[in-house]
Structure 1
């Protein structure tokens, strides 16, 4: 048998073993494109209606805040409920907020506060959907393919980042907001159908999952679980730091790029960064990652610091774009490797609670980057690096002065701090040896074969549909 035939056979084996996951993933990808396209259209509507950057930013806040607040409650419930049905319910109910916006728009009654309310409503249900989706991955993907599955999830977000703005702009001019909302609803319908076509293996219960406990202890279980395992807690905090950096870079990117190019070219630059995320996710899904995930995390975080430092070094659009492109290229590797460690070390029957807390911490870190690094750039570093600024005669002689150089200096500092943080994290033995000190959990929790998962009988599907309606 030739090498090419062996490679083809290997690819077919991987696809067959990941068949359940790929069916679910395709449905969720379509739903994400629909929701991202709607979010883009609503952002444009809010900004055109108000002309206010603050109100524009509040849209993101109302998307994020409920996730942080509801996750500790959602996690215990996700562990008790059927995760596939939880995803179906969350997809359907979250879509109701979008439908309400469409109705209000058609009758001419849509206001900005309606969008805030709808985003909050949607985010509440996504607080259930996200941990259910993440925790179900270990049930339907063999352990050796977890990095590939997590890479595909990063790829999913990269695809939506590239497609949604372009598709949203085209659809706004053709079918307007109501048409985009109809497209969103149709995309969610496809995602729900894909979930109803498969069956997830049952999660075996354990004493820790079924013991009687108070609501408060259930809600805080994810925290106590991580605190009892310092290596995992360190991993979550290390991962959250990358979200913080991404938030800070996002808030710096637009004003910094506009120092070089017009608004019309800005979209091209942002699309390049979306391509970087897509490429990183594709790389992990094909490559499968390192055998020791923690080394991939350390290495990519270290490289991230170098790339951020280089991005701010000179007043050059090419250097900045190349540095930030490479930074975003590493992020799917960090996130997928982190997720793989968590999936291997956290028992499947408590993953809903633990992943909900992990998601809340990471979600909180992202806007924290916005609200700390943004003002630092505008109020502190830009004045320092102005033509007559305090640092113009020293550092300014090396990296340049004027508009944008304060943000460049801030990027260099973030890069250095990221390198230092990674070095300190490497010296922490609980994190460095987390894959050795904690045992792998078994993902043989009634691991169904793809054929068994898909070959659900018609009567069972009808019963599920009835239970959803009721």
Structure 2
């Protein structure tokens, strides 16, 4: 893939060890979903785990990116990783004391989300400094590859370790993988700082305004961000409803949920290989729109009307196989367009605008499934048109909700495809 692997040696080392750490974190996240839903039976309470992670991220990103541009990138990443590990270790101690409560996890997720708010823009700038420009698409494909591989492995390992030793064992493995990544970054990966313009250093609020101003003067990027915010609203509502539907319709079968999530990972894995191997498209914006339209017009409807694990797996494949291609093209557009010395603050503004819909979607999805769609379907008689389409009993309301999400996703893609078509890439 790389003509001279030495050119990307530092990034490949960073990518591989951070991917290992992400595997540990993903296992913990999967186990927490199981622990919360099996204990509460509530889609909303389970979705609150993600809400607490994303809320600080969305609220503080616009300021954290400006700070990230001012701070040393490697030191920022190390401090944020260490703080996140400390909160995970606190959860481990609570489990050992048999004192872990849902609100503890909400607080821990919120603190981790806050650390990720600062770390993410620093990591993006670090990657830009370590990767030669001609390798942007290939390295983005590798990032998607590792994310997809983790999506396959994490649910299986999490379910196995959770069944074997509970949350404590899962968190212990998470801490081991963190240690490997932390030591590697600290001692073996030099990260150069991007050059800074001379003159007076801008204040925090001036830096924020500069990031927003850059987006304002680049309308194509701004419209892409707003488009993806709409997609994230639908996707996060999907994520809130999926465990409720699969676990409810399979009698709380954790393996079934793991299989569906594994298919998501397998499809993403294949898609990441495709994204890494394909040449640059004539229009990256068109490639993004087509990938998202295919995803939104297939997966949610298959999940809504399919009543078994094979159908849900087919929907997962359709929904995720082209997402890495979308991500790779978006990554190239952003990384090659935004000046390196401004990437932290611009990425942060982008994060606030693009991801603020995620906690909204999780909250809305969980609340609508619990309070609207499940009670509505519980009142339908067996043999009615709706029960024929979506089934009966607990989980049928979540299935109906997926049909609504399918319509919403297609509408968002259609509107923004027409809008973006008027812009030149």
Query: Normalised by the size of structure 1, how large is the TM-score?
Result: 0.78
- Residue equivalent to 2:419: 425
**Structure exhibiting the larger radius of gyration computed from Cα positions:** 1
**What are the Cα deviations for residues 276-331 of structure 1, in whole angstroms up to 9, with x where unaligned?**
22322232233355254223212212322432475368555455542442121122
Give the count of matched residue pairs: 415
- Residue equivalent to 1:311: 302
- Residue equivalent to 1:23: 13
What's the offset of the Cα at 1:347? Answer: 0.5
> In 1, are the aligned partners of 2:268 and 2:323 still within 8 Å (CA)?
yes
- Residue equivalent to 1:379: 372
- Residue equivalent to 1:413: 407
> In 1, are the aligned partners of 2:225 and 2:350 still within 8 Å (CA)?
yes
- Residue equivalent to 1:71: 61
What's the offset of the Cα at 1:131? Answer: 1.1
- Residue equivalent to 2:234: 245
The partner residue of 2:319 within 319, 327, 345 is: 327
Over aligned residue pairs, what C-alpha RMSD do you find?
Answer: 3.2
- Residue equivalent to 1:438: none
- Residue equivalent to 2:348: 356
CA distance in 2, matches of 1:220, 1:418: 29
> In 2, are the aligned partners of 1:311 and 1:412 still within 8 Å (CA)?
no
Over 3 Å counting, the alpha-carbon distance change for 1:75 and 1:50 in structure 2 is: same
What's the offset of the Cα at 1:155? Answer: 2.3
Over 3 Å counting, the alpha-carbon distance change for 1:360 and 1:400 in structure 2 is: closer
- Residue equivalent to 2:281: 290
Residue 192 in structure 1 maps to residue 185 in structure 2: no
CA distance in 1, matches of 2:37, 2:299: 30
Residue 266 in structure 1 maps to residue 260 in structure 2: no
- Residue equivalent to 1:234: 223
Superposition map of 1:158-197 within 5 A: 158-195=148-185, 196-197=187-188
User: Structure 1 unaligned runs (5+)?
Assistant: 1-10, 435-470
CA distance in 2, matches of 1:261, 1:83: 46
Over 3 Å counting, the alpha-carbon distance change for 1:137 and 1:71 in structure 2 is: same
Residue 96 in structure 1 maps to residue 92 in structure 2: no
What's the offset of the Cα at 1:121? Answer: 2.0
> In 1, are the aligned partners of 2:159 and 2:258 still within 8 Å (CA)?
no
> In 1, are the aligned partners of 2:145 and 2:272 still within 8 Å (CA)?
yes
Over 3 Å counting, the alpha-carbon distance change for 1:44 and 1:220 in structure 2 is: farther
CA distance in 2, matches of 1:360, 1:217: 17
CA distance in 2, matches of 1:45, 1:310: 28
**What are the Cα deviations for residues 32-82 of structure 1, in whole angstroms up to 9, with x where unaligned?**
111122233344444455555443332222211111122122101211122
Superposition map of 1:25-174 within 5 A: 25-47=15-37, 52-174=42-164
**What are the Cα deviations for residues 310-362 of structure 1, in whole angstroms up to 9, with x where unaligned?**
53685554555424421211222212211210101000011011112222333
> In 1, are the aligned partners of 2:48 and 2:363 still within 8 Å (CA)?
no
